[in-house]
Amino acid sequence: MGKIETTIFVDWENLHSDLEAIQETDECFKLPHFDFNNPEQLLALIRSFLEPEEELKRIYFYVSEPFTEVEPRIKSNKKEELERYKEKNPKEYEEKVNKSGIIQSFNHAIAQQNQVKLRVGRVKFKFVYKFEDKEVYNGLEAKIFIPYLKLRQK
């Protein structure tokens, strides 16, 4: 009897968050033992779940596009809002850009692996405004309106 051809579908955002949670509690999944941004290690982990009678045909990775690829598509009124956000929150914006670089590197590296196909979902962004308590003067507190850039799959 022949082997069963198996296709695996991976929702990278969910798997990534699960692996981060596991890394907090399990020593063997912490760096340097396991790096989920290393495609070879990640694929070895995924392949370890195959049964002996299963033969891997393909792994489809569903990933998000990096924020830096979304930015050029932003329309005029949102572009102005983004520019204000960059000015008021340069550190947070820089973190998003840096994370985009990591995402872009991972997407490229995983797509180069044998038996892997990448499916890239478009990201939509919006500004979410929250109130935060800030000390204004001499122990007095005020509610300050703080913008947060929220990214989600379209």
Q: pLDDT tens for residues 13-65?
A: 999 999 999 999 998 888 888 998 899 999 999 999 999 999 999 999 999 88
Distance from C-alpha of 27 to C-alpha of 32, rounded to nearest angstrom: 10
Nearest residue to 120 (alpha-carbon basis) of 44, 46, 78, 67: 67
Q: pLDDT tens for residues 99-116?
A: 999 999 999 999 999 999
Mean pLDDT of the chain: 86
Q: Which residue reads 């572009």 in tokens?
A: 79
Q: Which residue reads 């309106």 in tokens?
A: 145
Q: How confident is the model at residue 140 (pLDDT cuts 50, 70, 90)?
A: low
Query: What predicted TM-score, i.e. pTM, was given to this entire model?
Result: 0.76
Structure tokens at 2: 């022949």
Which comes out higher in pLDDT, residue 119 or 71?
119
Packed helices 39-47 and 90-111: angle between N→C axes, nearest 10 degrees: 60
Where is mean pLDDT largest: 96-100, 106-110, 130-134?
106-110
